[in-house]
Amino acid sequence: MNELHVAGLTKSYGAAEQSVLRGLDLTVPAGALTAVLGPSGCGKTTMLRIIAGFLRADAGTVRLGDRLLNGPGVHLPPERRRIGIVPQEGALFPHLSVARNVAFGLTGSDRAERRHRTAEMLELVGLAGYDDRMPHELSGGQQQRVAVARALAPRPGLVLLDEPFNALDSALRAGVRSDVRAALRATGATAVLVTHDQQEALSTADLVAVVRDGRVAQSATPQDLYQRPADPWVADFVGDAVLLPGTVDTHGTARTALGTVPLATPSQALRTGTVLLRPEQLRLTSTDSEGAVRGTVTDVCYYGHDAMVTVTVEGHDTPVGIRVTGPLSVRPGEETGVLIVGEAALHP
């Protein structure tokens, strides 16, 4: 099995002050799908291109299993890395049929073996029988499935997916995403999915590495990342966050503009800090409910499965978002009570 281990990767384009990667460390366990999530320009594609061998790092190492791909004096060419790549928009060879696209990397195997493997891969991505179609006769989602089949066919040690669902409309995206994940699981491939879409990372990957300014700010399971973000920036980047100044009481609670909240990890060292809550930890209630603070509804965004209600409260400059499921009974301009449910994290 092939664990990917990236250590101390640095890269600048031109002058050193244009440093894009600044000592990036990333470990992807064998057989796991890790999403690399970060804002535009944080260095995700640069990292992917170095792992693939298309670009040289200034320093750092890339290992796949027991093979050193990049290191001091070592730069294995892309074709010798055993890495499959799924680019942003499939990039199928337009003049080759679906079957010939999938079989493209199967050099070294005989004709019968190539046919067998191609059929197996097309079946895996739900395109059995599409062998003779040409790429322009496929939908965007089907083209991406062929690109995944092509990447997996030569049994690569690692699959790199570079924002592969970007060009698909949102209705199609969820289906293609879960089929691609199933195909990766079925082959036991170790995979890296680069994305700037938080929902995509959380819902698709086994692990999510959040990149900020050319370094991994946090790498964790989707649930850990959402519930225990390393700092307020990660919290805000991975989902909606309500960040409030808080003062710690002696009994493991913090006082905020939204009331007093128990701390998940009572703080010994911190007397004040930033209290982190998720919008689903806030409840709208009547203004005279026990423990509730008063606020004014300023906006309501209805999404069908839930709604985001924005409320301003006294003593806090920034309006807070409250996720409401079920019937919605408030309108902008109305007074409401706001109650915190559950525990909060405190950050310096």
Residues that bind ligand ATP (CB under 6 A): 13, 20, 38, 40-46, 196
Q: Which of 31, 11, 183, 151 is nearest to 81 (CA)?
A: 151
Smallest distance, ligand ATP to C-beta of residue 89, A:
13
DSSP 191-219: EEEEES-HHHHHHH-SEEEEEETTEEEEE
**Measured torsion, CA atoms of residues 338, 343, 347, 348, in degrees rounded to the nearest 10:** 80
> Which own/partner contact pairs does 316-320 have at CB distance under 8 Å and 24+ positions apart?
316/244, 316/245, 316/256, 316/257, 316/258, 318/243, 320/242, 320/244, 320/258, 320/279, 320/282, 320/295
Nearer to ligand ATP, 41 or 332 (CB): 41
Q: What are phi and psi of 320, to 5 degrees?
A: -105, 145
Nearer to ligand ATP, 51 or 261 (CB): 51
Nearer to ligand ATP, 163 or 179 (CB): 163
Smallest distance, ligand ATP to C-beta of residue 49, A:
8
- Integer Cα distance of 193 and 159 in angstroms: 8
- Integer Cα distance of 23 and 29 in angstroms: 20
Nearer to ligand ATP, 43 or 222 (CB): 43
- Integer Cα distance of 343 and 348 in angstroms: 17
Nearer to ligand ATP, 38 or 273 (CB): 38
Smallest distance, ligand ATP to C-beta of residue 39, A:
7
Smallest distance, ligand ATP to C-beta of residue 146, A:
23
Provide CB contacts within 8 A for 140, sequence distance 6+.
89, 90, 167, 168, 172
Smallest distance, ligand ATP to C-beta of residue 214, A:
8
Nearer to ligand ATP, 45 or 312 (CB): 45
Nearer to ligand ATP, 28 or 242 (CB): 28
Smallest distance, ligand ATP to C-beta of residue 67, A:
24
Nearer to ligand ATP, 45 or 247 (CB): 45
Q: With helix as H, strand as E and coil as C, how does 134-195 read?
A: CHHHCCHHHHHHHHHHHHHCCCCCEEEEECCCCCCCHHHHHHHHHHHHHHHHHHCCCEEEEE
Smallest distance, ligand ATP to C-beta of residue 138, A:
25
Smallest distance, ligand ATP to C-beta of residue 78, A:
17
